[in-house]
């Protein structure tokens, strides 16, 4: 049982990293949204599995929150936003897919080294899970850095947050309140960004955040 | 006596892959047609095509050299040897130790080398376009395949396919992230190597984006039959490799009873059917890519393979 | 005694050089010189082989009263030297045989003949030298003779420039080696290798020596970023000399590296291997990418030498890593892989340069865009060139695959290495190696396809004739060696056993006794390869298919115009050229590595101007490493130029200032 539970947790965390890479690879908005939904779904499964293994019922709630909000509500809403903005064909990246993936590999390697070194005496399950979680966070950040489109940046931000939740559930005994507040803060951030998106769109007729820089006169 | 028995099995393996490969292609075509609500060609159509091509005369282009005429045999022989070294229904083939997975990949590389040369031989623009794109795709697919091989070999502690299959059957393996990465990358490479959608379209001749079909445009008659048979063999080979490494259930051990062999055979055919079905499903669900999006696709496969290897290198130190 | 006989051979080569000056202009001169070189190198090769096989690397030493009076000149043959002597003299013999035919067409033989035997002698001396002084003198001698051969055709401006760059880089490399030996010898001035071997340099000093050797030997071997001279100089020489430079001299440089780092420098630190592996991986990929962008056949081959040197360094780096972590069996495997690649590369690279030389002779063209269709007019050359292409692309069942296979096996052993850095570097280097192998295949599809296949694009290519018997004999010999080393690698691995024993203390398991002549590096359950069986298997199934088809199927055949989707164009300019073949790869890799840009100019509709496509490539390494140095020197010399126009009083004050400065330094010196 010990071996199997480790293997499944490990595989779920690993697939989360894999899906982060898929996000990095995908530059079409619809597909990106679907992959994000998959990301959230895997997160929910991972959290649920942790709840089962650790016998911590409050984690089930976290899993449900992840499933409902992140895998269903937010992607659907973003989907609608994209339709209303009419930007579903826009593909804009700052760095090409190849270099971005290479950078991502480097980040995963970095996360591995740091985590495995720091937590030398912790138990192996937590160690690798933490390393994977840090990788997901870093990949989310990378995604935010390498994309121009505001929607992809939002998705990068939310997948970063998924990484945080993964780390939190891996470490035993994180209080429920914190999670719920995190979830809601994300929701609020999402709403704010959504409004923000519409505003940029109205003003500049694009959601390319470079337009903001141009407006501020930073890039010519 | 035992040696003769082993020889018989090796010969059976060679014949089996040769006979089954057109059937697999026919099955995929049929499935695709059914998914599109068409009747589709009969399952045995690839065999008929091969026989018809064999009967026809060869029309050789004026500028074709001796290499052009020898090439189909070289390509076919290389691929056939590679395909008959992959364990299908029974592991521990007589000659399996003569070439491990690296050598099998390299044998396919040799076949591709000569195929690309064939595309250049007559000196036409279509042949050149096909060859140059083929080597571009191969320059990413081959390293990706080698990285996948690294991942598998590091997990199983061997580069021999038989040993890998045996290891995967044992209880030591568990679910490994690296294995998942390798499987995904292997599927991507297999799609590219077999010139399937979204990389290339196996069903068309007259399209500017074609790769494989452009290379073999000048072949006709028995030469074309051999080339077609080779690509069918290659498809079978990749499905067999995936089946042998990732779903090794049912493969008979070297010294097993006829019943186990029958089970092995049935499970092999089952794996082929499932593989063909999934391929058809995937191909109907997805659109073809622009040629210059292919590097990103294969680059992703390469990265996944590299990531799998890297994870293994690191987790060994736990 | 071995070494004395070998020195007699070298002396014979050195005697040939002045003889060649006398014979230079006579019509039989080249036959005499090349014939004599062939005999001497064959003898030398035999001596080395005898040492390696019969006496399994027994050490034989001699010291001659030459050179520095307190040092003398020491020479020695041990297993490592014997192996490299085999490589040098095998390449030398093949080149001499080839030159028996090829040299007939030389229009200024007096510029090639005297230096050729001297060059061979110099390479032999480097390998046999047993003290720093004779090593460096032989090394310089080798550089100078090869430089003379590079500028043999001095009327071509490019060659002179190539010679200039080569001379600069060679001096730079020798300087680095000189410093390295100075550090190794220490303050007592122990320049004999025996004395150096006895005293181990400590940490920081050893690291400095490693870096200096990497620069000194690496610049001769063509390691990126010190490769810049190589693709200029190697193609400029006559083709048999190009073969020697690419196939053999780079190996002498590798010998220098192995001799110093594995033998003289003492036990390695683990991070040394990081440097060597990193350099090897980058060299391998950059070399082949550069090669893909070329359309000059000989230059393409020269860049491929860079790639293969990278592969060799990867093997050596792995061996260092294993040695440092006390894993002798794995170290033996990696070292064997590297050294086997040394041998293999010398064989197929010589073969390919001979092929390029034959093409050059038959058509007067090195530019692949002006060739094409040569397989019809030079079928035998085409065949052996094809063998060389398959071998260098690391495809089974030829020899290039065996050494790469062994390298991969060595990489698969490396997760057991405990250092963190290596854990990340080794998989990355593995990926680079795999990438370079795949790109090499692409590159040789291009080289063979554009040169020998397709339609002739110029009248010169149309009028080509098959080359002469001697050249063909040399090429067929090397092609056969490619096959033999590919299908019976066990014997070659066993021959390397004394070398690895002397360098890492242990050798790979004995291969000749393995069933069916396969090779098994560690254990059969882990990995094994049998080139012979694969070869027989391919031949068998190919023949089976052919005979079945000819028995059962129609064997009718009709010639007709090419189909080409119904739009055949009789103009050979419409076929794929070297540049167009490389275009997809250029788009994938070149945009980042070479900043490749394609500029297409389409004339307006109705205009009769031709459309134009310009491709711009930038050599970033040149721009980053060489251009600033050249600019700096130019700038400095421009500034210093004014010093030439001073008055006598100003000159005097300069001298006076220098004197006072020196005195001040003396005064301040503690």
Mean pLDDT (chain B) is 89
Q: Are C588 and A97 in contact (CB under 8 A)?
A: no
Res B307 pLDDT > 60: yes
Write the DSSP string, C106-147. Answer: -S-GGGTTTHHHHHHHHHHHHHHB-BHHHHHHHHHHHHHHHH
Q: For chain A, how many structural domains are there in total? A: 1
Min Cα–Cα distance to chain C from A110, Å: 10
Average pLDDT of the segment spanning B154-170: 87
> How much is the pLDDT for A17?
87
In 10 A of CB C198, how many CB atoms? 10
The counts of H helices and E strands in chain A are: 9, 0
Band (pLDDT 50/70/90 cuts) for residue B191 is very high
pLDDT in tens, C316-358: 999 999 999 999 999 999 999 999 999 999 999 999 999 999 9
Min Cα–Cα distance to chain B from A65, Å: 26
Secondary structure E strands in C313-380? none
- Cα separations (Å) of B57 from B217, C136, C279? 16, 67, 54
Contact (CB<8Å) C441/B157:
no
> How much is the pLDDT for A220?
43
The counts of H helices and E strands in chain C are: 28, 5
Q: Of B29, B56, B13, B66, which is closest to residue B283 (Cα–Cα)?
A: B29
Place of tokens 């044998």: B107
In the three-class reduction of DSSP (H, G, I as helix; E, B as strand; rest coil), residue B63 is classed as coil
Q: Are B105 and B161 in contact (CB under 8 A)?
A: no
Band (pLDDT 50/70/90 cuts) for residue B73 is very high
Contacts of C306 (CB under 8 A, 6+ apart): C222, C223, C224, C227, C230, C231, C283, C286, C287, C290, C291
Band (pLDDT 50/70/90 cuts) for residue C525 is confident
Cis peptide before C397 (omega within 30 of 0): yes
Min Cα–Cα distance to chain B from C235, Å: 25
Q: For chain B, how many structural domains are there in total? A: 1
Domain encompassing residue B121: 2-315
Res C57 pLDDT > 80: no
> How much is the pLDDT for A110?
83
A-chain CB neighbours of B180 within 8 Å are 11, 14-15, 18
> How much is the pLDDT for A1?
42
| Closest B-chain CA to C389 | B113
Average pLDDT of the segment spanning B163-168: 87
The Cα B114–Cα B136 span in angstroms is 15
Asked if C529 is an interface residue toward chain B (Cβ–Cβ < 8 A), one would say: yes
Cis peptide before C225 (omega within 30 of 0): yes
What are the residues facing C615 on neighbouring strands?
A: C598
Q: Which two tokens stand for residue C309?
A: 């040197």
Asked if B47 is an interface residue toward chain C (Cβ–Cβ < 8 A), one would say: no
Res B175 pLDDT > 50: yes
| Segment among A192-206, C314-328, C541-555, C599-613 with least mean pLDDT | A192-206
Name the strand (E) or helix (H) holding C159: helix C157-185
Name the strand (E) or helix (H) holding C18: helix C2-23
> How much is the pLDDT for A197?
67
Separation of first and last alpha carbons in chain C: 53
Res A203 pLDDT > 70: no
> How much is the pLDDT for A126?
66
Min Cα–Cα distance to chain A from B175, Å: 5
Place of tokens 């002179």: C160
Cis peptide before B198 (omega within 30 of 0): yes
Q: Report H helices in C488-577.
A: 489-495, 497-504, 531-552
Q: What one-character DSSP code corresponds to residue A149?
A: B
Min Cα–Cα distance to chain B from C87, Å: 27
Higher pLDDT, B209 or B135: B135
3-state secondary structure C365-426: CCEHHHCCCHHHHCHHHHHHHHHHHHHHCCCCCCHHHHHHHHHHHHHHCHHHCCCHHHHHHH
pLDDT in tens, C59-91: 888 888 887 777 788 999 999 999 999 999 999
Write the DSSP string, A19-51. Answer: HHHHHHH--SHHHHHHHHHHHHHHHHHHHHHHH
Place of tokens 């115009």: C561
Contact (CB<8Å) A116/B317:
yes
Domain encompassing residue A7: 2-216
Average pLDDT of the segment spanning C187-216: 86
Contact (CB<8Å) A109/C424:
yes
Higher pLDDT, C553 or A41: A41
Average pLDDT of the segment spanning B90-111: 87
Higher pLDDT, C66 or A216: C66
Q: Are C166 and C269 in contact (CB under 8 A)?
A: no
pLDDT in tens, C106-155: 888 888 999 999 999 999 999 999 999 999 999 999 999 999 999 998 88
Band (pLDDT 50/70/90 cuts) for residue A180 is low
Number of inter-chain CB pairs under 8 A, A vs C: 5
Higher pLDDT, A105 or C15: C15
Higher pLDDT, B120 or B315: B120
Higher pLDDT, C187 or C474: C474
Higher pLDDT, A66 or C390: C390
Higher pLDDT, A56 or C663: C663
| Closest C-chain CA to B79 | C538
| Closest A-chain CA to C427 | A109
pLDDT in tens, B76-90: 999 999 998 998 888
Mean pLDDT (chain C) is 90
B-chain CB neighbours of C575 within 8 Å are 123-125, 128
Separation of first and last alpha carbons in chain B: 48
Contact (CB<8Å) C538/B81:
yes
Q: Percent of chain C, pLDDT > 90? A: 60
Asked if A102 is an interface residue toward chain C (Cβ–Cβ < 8 A), one would say: no
Contacts of B82 (CB under 8 A, 6+ apart): B99, B104, B107, B108, B111, B237
Q: Are C399 and C346 in contact (CB under 8 A)?
A: no
> How much is the pLDDT for C191?
86
Place of tokens 């452009």: B214
Res B318 pLDDT > 80: no
Asked if B290 is an interface residue toward chain C (Cβ–Cβ < 8 A), one would say: no
In 10 A of CB C648, how many CB atoms? 7
- Which chains share 3+ C-beta pairs under 8 angstroms with C? A, B
Q: Percent of chain B, pLDDT > 70? A: 95
Could you say which of C445, C538, C588 has the minimum Cβ distance to residue B117? C445
> How much is the pLDDT for A134?
86
Band (pLDDT 50/70/90 cuts) for residue B207 is low
Q: Which two tokens stand for residue C242?
A: 């190009």
Q: Percent of chain A, pLDDT > 90? A: 2
pLDDT in tens, C233-279: 999 999 999 999 999 999 999 999 999 999 988 888 888 999 999 99
Res C595 pLDDT > 80: yes
Which of the residue ranges C59-68, C215-224, C416-425 has the most confident prediction, judged by mean pLDDT? C215-224
| Segment among A61-75, B112-126, B202-216 with least mean pLDDT | B202-216
> How much is the pLDDT for A209?
65
Q: Which two tokens stand for residue C302?
A: 């020269």
């Amino acid at each position: 049982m010990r071996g199997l539970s480790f293997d499944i947790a490990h595989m779920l965390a690993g697939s989360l990293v894999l899906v982060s890479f898929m996000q990095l690879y995908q530059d079409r908005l619809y597909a990106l949204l679907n992959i994000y939904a998959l990301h959230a779904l895997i997160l929910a499964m991972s959290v649920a599995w942790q709840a089962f293994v650790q016998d911590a019922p409050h984690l089930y709630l976290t899993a449900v929150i992840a499933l409902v909000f992140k895998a269903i509500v937010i992607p659907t809403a973003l989907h609608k936003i994209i339709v209303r903005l009419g930007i579903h064909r826009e593909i804009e990246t700052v760095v090409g897919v190849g270099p971005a993936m290479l950078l991502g590999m480097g980040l995963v390697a970095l996360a591995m080294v740091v985590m495995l070194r720091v937590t030398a005496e912790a138990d192996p399950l937590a160690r690798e899970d933490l390393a994977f979680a840090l990788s997901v966070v870093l990949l989310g950040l990378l995604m935010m850095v390498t994309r121009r489109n505001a929607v992809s940046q939002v998705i990068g931000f939310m997948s970063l947050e998924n990484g945080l939740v993964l780390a939190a559930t891996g470490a035993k005994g994180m209080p429920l309140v914190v999670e719920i507040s995190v979830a809601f803060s994300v929701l609020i951030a999402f709403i704010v960004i959504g409004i923000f998106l519409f505003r940029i769109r109205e003003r500049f007729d694009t959601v390319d955040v470079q337009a903001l820089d141009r407006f501020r006169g930073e890039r010519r | 006596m035992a040696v003769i028995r082993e020889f018989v099995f090796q010969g059976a393996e060679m014949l089996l892959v040769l006979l089954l490969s057109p059937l697999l292609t026919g099955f995929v075509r049929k499935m695709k047609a059914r998914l599109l609500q068409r009747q589709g060609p009969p399952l045995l159509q690839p065999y008929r095509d091969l026989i018809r091509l064999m009967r026809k005369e060869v029309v050789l282009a004026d500028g074709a050299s001796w290499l052009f005429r020898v090439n189909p045999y070289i390509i076919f022989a290389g691929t056939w040897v590679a395909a008959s070294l992959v364990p299908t229904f029974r592991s521990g083939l007589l000659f399996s130790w003569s070439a491990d997975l690296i050598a099998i990949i390299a044998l396919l590389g040799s076949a591709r080398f000569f195929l690309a040369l064939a595309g250049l031989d007559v000196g036409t623009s279509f042949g050149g376009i096909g060859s140059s794109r083929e080597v571009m795709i191969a320059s990413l697919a081959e390293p990706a395949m080698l990285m996948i091989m690294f991942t598998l070999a590091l997990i199983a502690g061997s580069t021999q396919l038989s040993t890998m299959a045996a290891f995967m059957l044992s209880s030591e393996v568990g679910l490994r992230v690296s294995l998942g990465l390798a499987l995904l990358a292997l599927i991507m490479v297999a799609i590219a190597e077999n010139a399937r959608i979204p990389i290339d379209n196996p069903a068309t001749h007259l399209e500017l984006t074609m790769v494989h079909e452009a290379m073999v445009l000048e072949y006709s008659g028995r030469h074309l039959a051999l080339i077609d048979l080779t690509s069918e063999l290659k498809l079978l080979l990749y499905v067999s490799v995936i089946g042998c490494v990732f779903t090794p259930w049912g493969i008979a051990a070297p010294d097993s009873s006829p019943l186990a062999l029958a089970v092995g055979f049935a499970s092999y055919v089952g794996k082929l059917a499932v593989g063909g079905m999934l391929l058809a499903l995937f191909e109907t669900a997805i659109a073809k890519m622009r040629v210059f999006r292919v590097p990103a696709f294969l680059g992703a496969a390469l990265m996944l393979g590299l990531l799998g290897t890297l994870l293994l290198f690191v987790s060994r130190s736990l | 005694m071995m070494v004395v006989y070998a020195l007699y051979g070298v002396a014979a080569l050195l005697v040939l050089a002045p003889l060649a000056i006398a014979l230079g202009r006579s019509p039989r001169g080249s036959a005499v010189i090349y014939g004599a070189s062939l005999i001497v190198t064959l003898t030398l090769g035999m001596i080395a082989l005898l040492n390696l096989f019969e006496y399994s690397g027994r050490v034989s030493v001699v010291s001659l009263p030459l050179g520095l009076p307190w040092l003398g000149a020491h020479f020695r043959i041990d297993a490592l030297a014997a192996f490299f002597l085999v490589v040098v003299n095998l390449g030398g013999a093949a080149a001499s045989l080839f030159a028996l035919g090829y040299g007939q067409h030389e229009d200024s033989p007096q510029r090639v003949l005297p230096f050729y035997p001297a060059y061979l002698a110099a390479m032999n001396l480097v390998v046999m030298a047993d003290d720093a002084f004779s090593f460096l003198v032989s090394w310089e001698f080798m550089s100078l003779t090869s430089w003379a051969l590079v500028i043999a055709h001095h009327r071509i401006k490019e060659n002179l420039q190539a010679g200039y760059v080569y001379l600069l880089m060679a001096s730079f490399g020798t300087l680095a080696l000189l410093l390295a030996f100075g550090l190794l010898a220490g303050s007592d001035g122990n320049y004999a290798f025996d004395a150096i071997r006895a005293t181990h340099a400590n940490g920081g000093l050893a690291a400095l020596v490693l870096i200096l050797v990497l620069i000194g030997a690496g610049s001769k071997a063509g390691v990126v970023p010190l490769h810049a001279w190589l693709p200029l100089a190697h193609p400029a020489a006559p083709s048999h000399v190009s073969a020697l430079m690419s196939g053999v001299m780079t190996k002498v440089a590798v010998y220098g590296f192995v001799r110093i780092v594995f033998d003289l420098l003492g036990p390695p630190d683990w991070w040394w291997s990081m440097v060597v592996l990193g350099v090897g991986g980058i060299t391998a990929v950059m070399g082949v990418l550069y090669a893909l962008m070329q359309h000059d056949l000989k230059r393409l081959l020269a860049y491929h030498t860079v790639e293969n040197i990278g592969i060799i360094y990867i093997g050596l780096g792995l061996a260092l890593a294993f040695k440092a972590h006390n894993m002798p069996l794995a170290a033996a495997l990696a070292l064997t892989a590297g050294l086997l690649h040394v041998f293999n590369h010398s064989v197929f690279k010589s073969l390919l340069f001979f092929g390029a030389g034959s093409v050059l002779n038959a058509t007067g063209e090195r530019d692949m865009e002006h060739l094409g269709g040569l397989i019809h007019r030079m079928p035998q050359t085409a065949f052996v060139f094809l063998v060389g292409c398959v071998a260098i692309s690391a495809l089974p069942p030829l020899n290039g695959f065996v050494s790469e296979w062994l390298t991969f096996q060595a990489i698969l052993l490396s997760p057991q290495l405990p250092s963190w850095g290596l854990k990340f570097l080794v998989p990355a280097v593995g990926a680079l190696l795999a990438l370079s192998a795949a790109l090499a295949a692409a590159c040789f599809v291009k080289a063979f396809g554009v040169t020998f296949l397709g339609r002739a694009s110029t009248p010169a290519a149309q009028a080509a004739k098959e080359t002469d018997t001697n050249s063909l004999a040399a090429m067929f010999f090397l092609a056969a060696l490619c096959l033999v080393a590919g299908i019976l690698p066990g014997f070659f691995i066993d021959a390397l056993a004394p070398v690895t024993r002397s360098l890492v203390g242990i050798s790979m398991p004995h291969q000749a006794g393995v069933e069916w002549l396969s090779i098994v590096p560690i254990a059969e359950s882990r990995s094994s390869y049998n080139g012979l069986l694969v070869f027989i298997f391919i031949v068998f199934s190919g023949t089976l298919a052919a005979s079945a088809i000819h028995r059962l199927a129609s064997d009718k055949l009709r010639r007709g115009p090419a189909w080409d989707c119904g739009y055949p164009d009789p103009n050979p300019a419409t076929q794929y050229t070297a540049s167009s073949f490389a275009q997809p790869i250029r788009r994938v890799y070149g945009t980042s590595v070479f900043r490749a840009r394609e500029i297409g100019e389409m004339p307006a509709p109705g205009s009769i101007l031709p459309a134009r496509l310009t491709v711009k490539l930038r050599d970033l390494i040149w721009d980053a490493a060489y251009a600033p140095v050249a600019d700096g020197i130019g700038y400095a010399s421009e500034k210093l130029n004014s010093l030439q126009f001073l008055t006598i009083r100003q000159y005097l004050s300069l001298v006076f200032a220098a004197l006072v400065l020196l005195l001040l330094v003396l005064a301040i010196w503690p």
